[in-house]
Structure 1
Amino acid sequence: MANVFKTKPLPHGSLQLDGDLVIPSQAQGLVVFAHCSGSGRQSPRDQWVARALQRSQMATLQIDLLTEDESRDGRRLFDIDLLAHRMIETIRWTSLHPDLTDLRLGLFGASASAGAALVAAAARPDRVAAVVSRGGRPNLVMDHLEQVQAPTLLIVGGLDDEVLALNREAMRRLHVPRRLEVIPGAGHRFEEPGALGSVAIFASSWFSQYLCAARPT
């Protein structure tokens, strides 16, 4: 039986960001889902993936990196510096949480939030053990990719031609264990039958490999 916590985990000055934390019994790792909208953590697509990870004995933290007011400003949705800073602060919070500090940490992001996750991984190699990007926009953070030390999985829809080309370039710039999984017949939002199930399978396998293999001492 999972323990479910609703929390506001990230004090940022006078700001508090909404997040949902689920810790299964005997959790073997923690995956933080980065969302760059004011209610993105309620996305059915990422909720689906989160439930798959929970069944694999991984805790999940879904965090909205922007407030609802901020997310109405389209410029904020692609403000990688702001999103990455808040992601790094969220990582710091997990290190201080008594139920999470001993769990190896992975990051999951989509579109621009995947870029923020990669920047955060580069900034916190001591804490981040794996990254999964779903339809990510690595062109926003190409200069940071060589600094990423965490094994990285890039998942892209086969019909998402522009993003697929960007992710192939990212594969050339990453110098860590990495993989590009292309889901045939899927577009950018992975709404086609079976597409999201494939995302969940690939993400669960990647995080299980890198988060559950060892625990910090």
Structure 2
Amino acid sequence: MADDVVAEAAAAHAGIVEAGGHKHLRDSKGRLIPLGMIKPQRLLEDEMVRKVFRFALDLSAQVARFKGHTFADLNSFQTLLEQHYGAKQGGEKGNVTFSTFDDTMRIEVKIADILTFGAELQVAKKLVDECLVEWGADSHEALRALVNRVFSVEKEGQINRGEIFSLLAMEVEDERWQRAMGAIRDSIHVTGTKAYLRFRMRPDPQASWSTVAIDLAAA
């Protein structure tokens, strides 16, 4: 009986559905397709994707637990320091670095603002476009390239946030440009903060730092 339960659980996890005494897979439209009607390569692909996905889900859960435990440990240590020095406890933690005694391992906590952009951004875009049209195609080429990167949108309202502060730092005397930059500044709203972890290490105190990659994109 126990073996039957285990077998049923394994089959469900593999996407196999028992119906009418036969095994099926559900297609993208929700229809049950008998295994015998599915090409062998598609069955192998389905099995491979499900196997890799199980590892991905397990790893994702493990990373989430690790992140939670790490922040808990770091916050506990900061609380101990606050108690030791008689500082007021509680409140948000700021940017801070923790290191080993020999300074070969560091944990950095970075607090970044979460930004959103209001309707003023579209007004700024119109003013910027007016400036670029009047200046002509051959003038301010570097500035024009930066503007194109900032407002390189795939759908309305999106901007390249990484470049927008470079745009604000540009010195242009045109009065409309100044109004556009003012509109961009007015459009920026801080809606919260997010904490990021970075792990760095080096073989000895004289060596260069290397970052321990945890996310798949940087691994």
Which structure has more strand as a fraction of its residues? 1
TM-score of the pair, normalised by structure 1: 0.19
- Which is helix-richer, 1 or 2? 2
Q: Which of these two proteins has the greater Rg computed from alpha carbons?
A: 2
